[in-house]
Amino acid sequence: METSFGASAPYTVGIEEEFQLIDPGTLGLAPLISDVLAARRPGEEDLVTSELSSACLETRSPVYGNISELAAGLPELRRRVKALAERGGARLAASGTHPFSDPSDGPVSEGEHYRRVEEEMGWVARTQAIYGLHVHVAVPDEEAAIRAVGILAKHVPLLIALSANSPFWRGHDTRLASTRIKIFDLFPRSGLPPAFRTWGEFEGHVEKLVAAGSIPDYTWCWWDVRPHPRFGTVEVRVLDAQTDPSRTTALAALIQCLVAGAAGETAAPEDPLLLSENKWRATRYGLDATFHDFASGRSAKAREAARTLVEGLRPVGQDLECEDELASVLEILDQGSGTDRQRAVLREVGSLKGVAEDLIRRTA
């Protein structure tokens, strides 16, 4: 397996944000990705791309040397993408799911890759009108990638709680903090990553799947956290799309610090059953979840766990010059998650169309 680990300086960061394409009249999802991509101007070819749902627009950021550069560049990136979407006849919104549209109403995107996914997944492919935030952090070598995946896997439940932004599905409150997580669980090779001890174990696992005809390559392993050999990064895929760009940078800072803090650390696997239970509780209750704390053996509230984690990572944040962005994670605890905000807007305005309007207004 060819890799690019070490090609970028350690702990540089890039993000991918998935946005909803919205019909300006109905405020429902609009399968307009082909029109939006056709509206790109010279120099915008690498800025945006399609995803499986034809009502999804994905942005790919530059590689940033530090989180401060990401924080400075992201608002302008979103403004450009918003203008592009409008040239293609759509509006833009960011959250893990749309408040009321039926995801199966729109076709999958055009292209051989998406046709292959639809053929392999069948009906499941038509359910995937879901929107995530992916964070990439560069690591120096293969074994560093495996260590970082192991460390990040332990924190998947907390990352779900902090990023939860998808309470509604097809016009109903699911009572989940992140409906997107459960919808994506329909995919194979999703969820928590296997506890690989070495790079060889990961590589061997992928080679067996390829040899069996299950997958064409490692990118069809859609775990919550995975190595990305082609980019030379570790990729966190579990986050809901964030409406507020400042939350995107806060979560990216937390992930960057976790990866940097994993250097030289041995990631002993936790009890997978308890880790899966923590993930479910985060998916269901968000920041109100109570977790099993592996360090103490007792229970811990999600907010308490987040404060403890941020405090412990402060020295790493200082070294990476992202201390302010890391501290912004605490603002999520004080203000509530995106899911909390969406439910509050529904109580205030009384309609899911009003929730969609709020998401559009605050996205870019």
| CATH number of domain containing 321 | 3.30.590.20
Greater pLDDT, 21 or 269: 21
Number of domains in the chain: 1
- Taking residues 91-115, report their average pLDDT: 91
Tokens of 75: 């608002």
Flag whether 6 is in a domain: no
Residue 187 has pLDDT above 80, yes or no: yes
Average pLDDT of 265-292?
A: 90
Task: Summarize the confidence of residues 108-118 as an average pLDDT.
Answer: 90
Question: Residue 270 above 90 pLDDT?
Answer: no
Look over the chain and give the mean of its residue pLDDT values, rounded to a whole number. 95
Q: Would you say 249 and 144 are in contact if contact means Cβ atoms under 8 Å apart?
A: no
Strands (E), 89-150: 91-93, 132-138
CA 213 centroid distance within chain: 28
- Say whether pLDDT at 171 is over 80: yes
Q: What percent of the chain has pLDDT over 70?
A: 98
- pLDDT at residue 268 tops 70: no
Residue indicated by tokens 């766990």: 305
Token reading at 106: 């729109």
Q: Which residue range is the domain that position 358 belongs to?
A: 13-363
pLDDT recorded at residue 295: 85
User: How crowded is residue 228: how many other Cβ atoms within 10 Å of its Cβ?
Assistant: 21
The encoded tokens of residue 91 equal 């509006």
List, in order, residues 6 or more apart from 226 with CB less than 8 Å away: 149, 193, 218, 234, 235, 237
7 occurs within a structural domain: no
Q: What band does 134 get if pLDDT is binned at 50, 70 and 90?
A: very high
> What was the pLDDT predicted at 246?
97
With 0.75 as the threshold, say if the pTM is over it: yes
Helices and strands in the chain: count of H runs, count of E runs? 15, 13
| Inside any domain, residue 215 | yes
For the segment 122-133, the average pLDDT, to the nearest whole number, is 92
pLDDT at 343: 98
Query: What does the pLDDT read at residue 266?
Result: 66
Q: What is the pLDDT of residue 269?
A: 67
Q: Is residue 98 included in any domain, yes or no?
A: yes
Q: What are phi and psi of 189, to 5 degrees?
A: 50, 40
Per the domain annotation, does 68 fall within a domain? Answer: yes
Overall average pLDDT of the 288-317 stretch = 95
Q: Residue 330 — very low, low, confident or very high, per pLDDT cuts 50/70/90?
A: very high
Q: Based on C-alpha coordinates, what's the Rg of the chain? A: 19
Q: Is residue 4 part of a domain?
A: no
Q: How far apart are CA 155 and CA 234, in angstroms?
A: 14
Provide mean pLDDT across the span 45-73.
Answer: 94
**Parallel, antiparallel, or unpaired: how do β-strands 190-191 and 91-93 relate?**
unpaired
| Dist CA 95 CA 17 (whole Å) | 10
> Does residue 234 lie in a domain region?
yes
pLDDT digits (tens, 9 = 90+) for 188-239: 999 999 999 999 999 999 999 999 999 999 999 999 999 999 999 999 999 9
Residue 283 pLDDT class (50, 70, 90 cuts): very high
State what percent of residues in the chain have pLDDT above 90: 88
290 has pLDDT over 80 = yes
Burial of 286 (0-12, 13-18, 19+ CB in 10 A): buried
* Distance separating alpha carbons of residues 349 and 232, to the nearest angstrom: 46
Helix, strand or coil for residue 212? coil
Let me know if residue 58 belongs to a domain.
yes
The SS3 call for residue 194 is coil
Helix (H, G, I), strand (E, B) or coil at 137: strand
Is residue 55's pLDDT more than 80?
A: yes
**Which pLDDT does position 126 carry in this prediction?**
86
Contact 165, 241 (CB under 8 A): yes
Q: Looking at residue 177, what is its pLDDT? A: 98
Has residue 267 got a pLDDT over 70? no
Can you give the pLDDT at residue 199?
97
For helices 67-87 and 245-261, give the axis angle rounded to 10 degrees: 140
Residues in the chain: 364
